[in-house]
Amino acid sequence: MWAILPIVGLLIGLVIGGFISIEVPAAYVKYFSIAILAALDSVFGGIRSTMEDRFDSTKMISGFFVNALAAALLAYLGDRLAIDLYMAAVFAFGVRLFDNIARIRHLLIDKWRNRS
Amino acid sequence: MKQSYFYLGGICLITGLLFALQFLSPAGLLQSNPVSQRMVNLTTTINNLETEIAAQQDYIESTRNELNQLDNQANIEKLQLMQQELKEAQIHAGLTSVAGPGVIITVDDNHSGQKANPDDDPQHYIIHFEHILSIVDELKTAGAEAITVNGQRLITTSEIRCVGNVILVNTTRIAPPFEIHAIGSPSLMINMVNYGELAVLRSSNYPVHVEESDELILPAYKGDLQFQYAKLGGL
Chain B residues with CB inside 8 Å of A25's CB? 27
Task: Kindly determine whether residue B5 and residue A8, on different chains, have CB atoms separated by under 8 Å.
Answer: no
Domain match, B134 and B211 both: yes
Min CA distance, A21 vs chain B (Å)?
8
Q: What is the C-alpha to C-alpha distance for residues B13 and A54, in angstroms, rounded to an integer?
A: 22
Alpha-carbon gap: B3 to the closest alpha carbon of chain A (Å): 8
- Which chain B residues in 102-141 lie under 8 Å from chain A, judged by CB atoms? none
Same domain, B203 and B132: yes
Q: What is the pLDDT of residue B185?
A: 92
Same-domain check for residues B150 and B200: yes
- Do residues B210 and B107 share a domain? yes
Q: Is the pLDDT of residue B101 over 90?
A: yes
B109 and B203 co-located in one domain = yes
Average the pLDDT over B208-228 and give the result: 86
Q: Identify the weakest region by mean pLDDT among A81-95, B15-29, B40-54, B146-160.
A: B15-29
Q: Considering only A46-55, A94-103, B47-56, B145-154, which range has the smallest mean pLDDT?
A: A46-55
Domain assignment of residue B100, yes or no: yes
Residues 6+ apart with CB under 8 A from A110: none
CATH of the domain at B207: 3.30.70.1880
Does B44 reside within a domain?
yes
As a whole number of angstroms, the distance between CA A91 and CA A41 comes to 12
In the predicted structure, residue A29 carries a pLDDT above the cut 70: yes
Structural domain includes residue B69 = no
B4 touches chain A (CB under 8 A): yes
What local confidence, expressed as pLDDT, does residue B125 receive?
Answer: 86
Q: Please, are residues B144 and B189 in contact by the beta-carbon 8 Å criterion? A: yes
Is the confidence at residue B210, as pLDDT, over 70? yes
Q: What is the nearest CA distance from A116 to chain B, expressed in angstroms?
A: 23
pLDDT surpasses 80 at B208? yes
CA nearest neighbour of A25 among B34, B42, B22, B35: B22
| Structural domain boundaries, residue B168 | 95-218
pLDDT of residue B188: 92
Determine the pLDDT at residue B23: 76
Q: Would B15 be classed as within a structural domain?
A: yes
Q: How would residue B105 be classed by pLDDT, with cut points 50, 70 and 90?
A: very high
Assess whether pLDDT exceeds 60 at residue A55.
yes
B34 to chain A, any CB pair closer than 8 A? The answer is: no
Residue B174 belongs to a domain: yes
Among A10-19, B16-25, B52-61, the range of highest mean pLDDT: B52-61
Q: What pLDDT, on the 0 to 100 scale, is given for residue A38?
A: 85
Nearest CA in chain B to A58: B7
Q: Mutate which of A4, A28, A32, A34 to test chain B, going by most B C-beta atoms within 10 A?
A: A32
**ipTM of the modeled complex:** 0.77
Rounded to an integer, what distance in angstroms lies between the CA atom of residue B133 and that of residue B160?
6
* Interface membership of B32 toward A (CB under 8 Å): yes
Evaluate whether residue B37 is within a structural domain.
Answer: yes
For residues B100 and B175, membership in a common domain is answered with yes
- Our CA dihedral for A33, A36, A41, A42, rounded to 10 degrees, sits at 150
Which of chain B's residues have a Cβ under 8 Å away from the Cβ of A20?
21
- Which residues face B216 on adjacent strands? B100
B146, burial (CB in 10 Å: exposed 0-12, middle 13-18, buried 19+):
buried
Number of structural domains chain B divides into: 2
Query: In this complex, do B1 and A2 lie within 8 Å of one another by their Cβ atoms?
Result: yes
Mutate to test the interface with A, among B1, B15, B30 (most CBs of A within 10 A): B15
Mean predicted confidence (pLDDT) in B109-137:
86
What is the average per-residue pLDDT within A87-106? 89
Do B99 and B208 belong together in one domain? yes
Look at residue A19 in the predicted model and tell me its pLDDT.
80
Give the gap in angstroms from C-alpha A20 to the nearest C-alpha of chain B: 8
Q: Is position B205 within any domain?
A: yes
Q: What is the distance in angstroms between the CA of the first residue and the CA of the last residue of chain A? A: 21
* Cβ–Cβ contact B72 with A under 8 A: no
> pLDDT for B10-39, tens place per residue?
888 888 888 888 777 665 454 556 666 677
CB atoms B19 and A13 under 8 Å: yes
B116 occurs within a structural domain: yes
Among B12, B27, B9, B36, which residue's Cα sits nearest to residue A31? B27
Which of the given ranges, A43-57, A73-87, B185-199, has the highest pLDDT on average?
B185-199
Instruction: Determine the residue of chain A that is closest to B18 in CA distance.
Output: A36
Dihedral sign (CA B25, B31, B34, B35) = negative
Residue with more model confidence, A115 or B178: B178
pLDDT at B7: 81
Say which residue, A34 or B100, is predicted with more confidence: B100
pLDDT of residue B9: 83
